[in-house]
Amino acid sequence: MSLERPDTADDGAVERTPDELEALLGDLVVDRDDHLNAPGFVIRPDTVQETLSILKEQAGYDHLSLVTAQEYENRYESIYHLKKFDDPTQEVSIVVPADKDTPVSESAEPVFRTADWHEREAYDLMGVEYDDHPDLRRILLPETWQGHPLSMDYDQERPQIASLPEHANPLQEHHKDAESDTMFLNIGPHHPATHGVLHLKTVLDGEQVVDVEPDIGYLHRCEEQMAQNGTYRHQIMPYPDRWDYISAGLLNEFAYARAAEDLADIEVPEYAQVIRTMGAEMSRIAAHMLALATFALDINGDFTATFMYAINDRERVQNLLEDLTGQRLMFNYFRLGGVVWDLPEPREEFFSKTRDFLDQLPESIEEYHNLITSNEIFQMRTIDTGVLPPEVAKNYGATGPVARGSGVDYDLRRDDPYGYYDELDWDVVTEDGCDNFSRLLVRMREVEESAKIIEQCVDLLEDWPEDERNIQANVPRTLRPDDDTEIYRAVEGAKGELGIYIRSDGTDKPARFKIRSPCFSNLQTLPEMANGEYIPDVVAALGSLDIVLGEVDR
Amino acid sequence: MGTAPAQLFPEFLVDTFGLPGVLGEVVASLIGAAVVANIILAFSGVAGPWAKRKITAAFTDRIAVDRIGPFGLLIIPASAVQLLAKELIIPEGVDRPTWDIAPILLPASAMLGFSVIPMGQIGPLNIHLADPEVGLALVFAFASIASVSLVMAGYASNNKYSLLGGLRAVAQNLAYEIPLIVTAMSVVIFAGTLQISGVVGAQTETLATVAGFDIPAWFAFVNPFAFVLFLTANLAEIGRNPFDIPEAPTEIVGGYQTEYSSAYFVLFYLGEFVHIFLGGAILSVVFLGGASGPGPESISFIWFVVKVWGFFLFTQWARAAIPRVRIDQLIEIGWKGMLVLSFANLVLTAVIVGVIA
């Protein structure tokens, strides 16, 4: 079957038992704190770099998926969720407790570049300080913010206003230096190419970019906090729709559904999994169509026909999703243990509409290839610009089409199967160009793969016996997972690895709910791609990253 | 065809109304200029708020304006009122006289170019204001004033995006104006004159007869290679895709026009449209036989309109379909490609003309 991953006779992929890992780490391990998804080792806060280096270099854990910080009654804790790009089912959690009064632990940034932003976020929201971090500043909240909002002693009732003069206002500094001949330029937060409210602090030398630093947080909506205030059973599911709101809603819901179902040990009926898988892939097509459309906008300029054509195709899949879920963007269609309702009646009509869409899709893709990818000017603009070598991509924890465009063969749908993906016949798309063009090609080819998946799902659903159409497992009205159970689960979202960490405390609400946003990690690679290139290439690189600020900032 | 060029417009007015002396000539010239300017303004008025929307919509599977008036045509007065009624925002720190002059200079310079363009005849009326001996050089001179306006706007706006746009405009115009003019020179070698009536007159003969149809000796048919070069350079000259980099909204917001609003913004837009039409007019004069076409001479204005609007349509098509090149790529195409090709074309033309003549 095509889902078999090519043989990698790499030492790193050798699976080690938790005990072997403990032996490998030796004295570094202070205690064990296993999570549902992975063995967990507690280490001392000053041995983070040493531990992670050993795991990265000797055991092959080369993917720092997420850094979660949380506060207990008696301590702070940072969890480093490690995986392997070769086999993401091999996971390990490194738990780093920090002192309650002065929470300081060593930074992982020298080992994994991606820890830079993740630790800044942990510092910003939780207040854990990281020694040896190159640039420990707030990342989501304004510089002048008082306190750390997710910590226990934070006064949530007290309003805070970060006024423009108080806040680090880039407009006030002139950034002029008599010596240098560079120019500082603010791109965004209101700029046609930033795809939302993103601010790029750019230093230019003529038209060339010397340095670019993304400044995020303009769309921070406390999604983690809100999820922690909701009950597992019903109140959290609407939020994922609002992370990556570019119609990728069902993919996001899949992330929460997977994490919470594994946490509460809920078995989902096969029929519901097929519906979920089909809906999720429809969302993926819609999301990739928008990525294609806006990328054409970035390269061609406004008034390009490609933009409207792609939006048109997105509209068709949007109509299908509307028929299925009753909503156009904020679907709220998944439930823990299944989906909210069955396919729309009459089923035949829905199936034939879906098939019509799938039949027409190759023609559309052909047209996009004619319009953009085979255009010489387009190739001139995108090939060999915004280059992201695979090693750099891995170091930054880049996933999704961004990683696959750099030849990193990593797709959780195949490598860490969930839903109904492992029963279906489809391929993981990779391109070796590492440039803007490859990332676009990956998305375009993934649309075709998604269409294959949807087609197989439709075939299955059409023949499903009527008395076995079980859309919902038997789930208790109130879910109370066991006290102090921890889980980290990820799915392949539209932009990459969308993960959720949940710690339960025995109540019906999560004690800690942490989102691993693929866009957050992917955006971090922008300086690597853009430095030394021209302004239009920065815009192209940003477009090819396909970020959604709702997911970056959460 | 082949008849002596009709009287120029101001002379026609002097003769028809019997205006006496120098004063009469001045009055006639002013009236003529006003008529020509209004034709161009009417073109731009239709193109900006209405035709451009409709054309873009047709390319992108949309409907565009259709709510007010037949085919949404009343959007033209509505847009005019709306745009002029907006507040003129003057940012802090702009370089005042320069910032105000730039938006006036752009449409004015493009409009000046039309003074030497023969726009064809309506009945006995020949819409052609002046026909100096250096007409072709003059029209390029007028057209290139536009880049001065863009630099002024970019520099005076006190905005970094504007500055980048202004710099890009200079770089682009330097890279493209030379090939543009050198290519036009090859036509001058054919025609043997810089006078525009002479250039047009040289294209009236029949090149070949195919199946009973006379193909006129338009320079586009005589030297298609030069025509393509000129067309490409012309797109860069008027700043349209794939060469719209001085504006490049997705990169540098709006370039030199970022800080302009209200009437000044309208003036810039007007200037751009007039410039596109001037580009089309130059193209038709130099390569497409001026205002000539099938049918009697007295309706040749229609052919002029068709050619100019054809070029406008072409720019909109390019805009909908072709990606934008990067500034360094543009400079490279201009200096390393177009310049070499245009000189090769010039030398080759000179040799061929020399051998034949």
Query: Do A322 and A447 lie in a common domain?
Result: yes
A117 and A266 co-located in one domain? no
Establish if A6 belongs to a structural domain. no
Q: Which helix (H) or strand (E) holds A217?
A: none
Residue B143 touches chain A, beta carbons under 8 Å: no
Q: And the tokens for A391?
A: 């090693």
The first and second tokens of residue B224, run together, are 């298609």
How far is residue B125's CA from residue B154's CA, in Å, rounded to a whole number? 41
C-beta atoms of A312 and B321 within 8 A: no
Clarify whether residues A256 and A119 are in a common domain: no
Whether A185 and chain B come into contact, CB under 8 Å, resolves to yes
Distances (CA, A) of A21 to A25, B83, B203: 6, 70, 86
In the listed set A131, A155, A186, which residue is the last one of a domain according to the structure?
Answer: A131
Structure tokens, A159: 């309003």
The reply to whether A519 falls in a domain is yes
Query: CA gyration radius for chain B?
Result: 21
Q: Read off the CATH number of the domain in which A120 is found.
A: 3.30.460.80
Could you tell me if A341 lies within 8 Å of chain B, comparing CB atoms?
A: no
Considering the domain boundaries, does residue A174 fall inside one? no
Domain residue limits at A50? 11-131
A414 in the same domain as A270: yes
CATH number for the domain spanning A510: value is 1.10.645.10
Structural domain spans, chain B: 92-356
Q: Considering A131, A149, A166, which residue would you say is the last residue of a domain?
A: A131
| A166 found inside a domain | no
Counting beta carbons within 10 angstroms of the beta carbon of residue A529, is it exposed (0 to 12), middle (13 to 18) or buried (19 or more)?
A: buried
Mutation to test the B interface, candidates A369, A373, A535, A544, most B Cβ within 10 Å: A535
A147 assigned to some structural domain: no
Burial A66-105 (b: 16+ CB within 10 A, else e): bbbbbbeeeebbbbbbbbbbbbbebbbbbbbbbeeeebeb
**Sequence-distant (≥ 6) Cβ neighbours of residue A434 within 8 angstroms:** A387, A388, A389, A390, A393, A405, A406, A407
**Interatomic CA distance for residues A328 and A326, integer angstroms:** 7
Name the domain boundary from A89, A111, A131. Answer: A131
Q: Is B62 on the interface with A (CB under 8 A)?
A: yes
* Facing B252 at nearest CB: one of A308, A381, A535: A535
- Is residue A208 situated within a structural domain? no
Nearest to B123 by CA among B213, B252, B6, B38: B6
For each of chain A's 554 residues, which pLDDT tens digit applies?
445 555 444 445 677 788 888 888 888 888 888 888 888 889 888 888 888 888 888 888 889 999 999 988 888 999 999 998 888 888 899 999 988 888 889 888 888 989 999 999 999 998 898 888 888 888 888 888 888 888 888 888 888 877 666 655 555 455 555 666 778 888 878 887 777 888 888 888 878 888 888 888 888 888 888 999 999 888 998 999 988 888 778 999 999 999 999 888 888 998 999 999 999 999 999 999 999 999 988 888 777 888 889 998 999 999 999 999 988 888 889 988 889 988 888 888 999 999 999 999 999 999 899 888 888 888 988 988 889 999 999 999 899 999 999 989 899 998 888 888 988 888 899 988 889 999 999 999 999 999 999 999 999 998 888 888 888 888 888 888 888 888 999 999 889 999 999 999 888 899 999 999 999 999 999 998 888 888 888 888 988 988 888 889 88
**Do A123 and A232 share a domain, yes or no?**
no
B252 touches A at CB < 8 Å: yes
Residue A182 in domain: no
Strand partners, A104: A129
Question: In this complex, do A534 and B327 lie within 8 Å of one another by their Cβ atoms?
Answer: yes
A352 and A463 co-located in one domain:
yes
Of the candidates B161, B244, B323, which has its C-beta nearest A375's C-beta?
B323
- Domain co-membership, A238 together with A113: no
Please indicate, yes or no, if residue A161 is contained in any of the structural domains.
no
Radius of gyration of chain A (CA): 23
Distance CA(B191)–CA(B187), nearest Å, equals 6
Structural domains counted in chain A: 2
**Do the interacting molecules here have an ipTM over 0.85?**
no
Residue B62: closest C-alpha in chain A: A308
